[in-house]
Structure 1
């Protein structure tokens, strides 16, 4: 199954790499920073990093923005709202909300890989109001209800 997703480099970003998979079986397309000058994230600091790109997806798809594992492990750089969701009807610039959870300042440079974009199929779901729900063994047991760590 394949889908066509249109991608547009926004004006002034002709040098920005298009998202690409870094291996044959990768599920995510790496996204690149379209900053006009270096951004330094101090420990605990968060901010939006532009990609210089916009996309048009067909109905029934979403794009999820996820952290890059290498940045997270080596530097504590991650996406604050992960996964971030891009809906099929959004046509604005893709921006990545990053946070530095590391102990050292981290610099983002133009055309540096900052996150990955994974496409997912979105099922059509009908919510049906009812007066009560069926019982299950778990019931309303929530956070930590099994006693496991």
Structure 2
């Protein structure tokens, strides 16, 4: 069943070191995230972090962001994640998209050019403004936090 929302158009610019690589793409008809691949070869040591090049830049429409999220298979099988998950790519950013990966495992992890490293999820952005007040309305939860609702 197709999405009830029409797709938005995102302009993408392939960079020289991204030639020959696939652009982000949905792996299945109902996937929420688009697979994105590495544009470089590297070894990520245990505990190491690296901003992995993707070989492209984008023009995200105003009112949207793109979130970079971990691939569940890499997380489960190899302990590879995104330390700032989800990572936000703002609509006004025009530089190369890079995905910050971290190796949570105790083994080095090899990433080859063309390997799927993350997924990108397009999301609408709701802007807000803060209004300073002297008091807040009461709720059943009140000031209970950090585990207070899961007793």
TM range (shorter): over 0.9
Shift of 1:112: 0.6
Q: RMSD of the alignment, in Å?
A: 1.2
Q: What does residue 126 of structure 2 align with?
A: 123
The equivalent of 2:73 in structure 1 is: 70
Q: Please state whether the residue corresponding to 2:122 is helix, strand or coil.
A: strand
Can you give the 5+ residue segments of structure 1 that lack an aligned partner in the other structure? none
TM-score for the superposition, normalised by structure 1? 0.93
- State which of 124, 133, 137 in structure 2 corresponds to 1:134: 137
Indicate the residue corresponding to 1:12 in structure 2: 17
Report deviation, 1:98: 0.4
Q: Give, in whole Å, the separation in 1 of the partners of 2:86 and 2:117.
A: 14
- CA drift of 1:72 comes to 0.5
8 Å CA contact 2:17, 2:39 repeated in 1: no
Distance (whole Å) between structure 2 residues aligned to residue 52 and residue 128 of structure 1? 41
Alpha-carbon separation, structure 1, partners of 2:117 and 2:69: 9
Judge which range, 128-137 or 82-91, deviates more. Answer: 128-137
User: 1:26 Cα shift?
Assistant: 0.3
Question: Residues 46-75 of structure 1: CA distance to partner in whole angstroms, max 9, x if unpaired?
Answer: 111010111101111000000000100110
| Residue number among 2, 23, 29 corresponding to 2:28 in the alignment | 23
Distance 1:11 1:22 in 2: 25
Partner in structure 1 of residue 3 of structure 2: none
User: How far apart are 1:131 and its partner, in Å?
Assistant: 1.8
CA deviation after TM superposition for structure 1 residue 147, in Å:
5.4
In 1: Cα distance, 2:85 partner to 2:144 partner: 25
3-state SS of the aligned residue for 1:52? strand
- Runs of 4+ aligned structure 1 residues displaced above 6 Å come to none
Instruction: Tell me what 1:90 maps to.
Output: 93
Following the alignment from structure 2 to structure 1, what is the Cα–Cα distance between the partners of residues 49 and 126? 32
How many residues of Structure 1 are paired with residues of Structure 2 in the alignment? Answer: 146
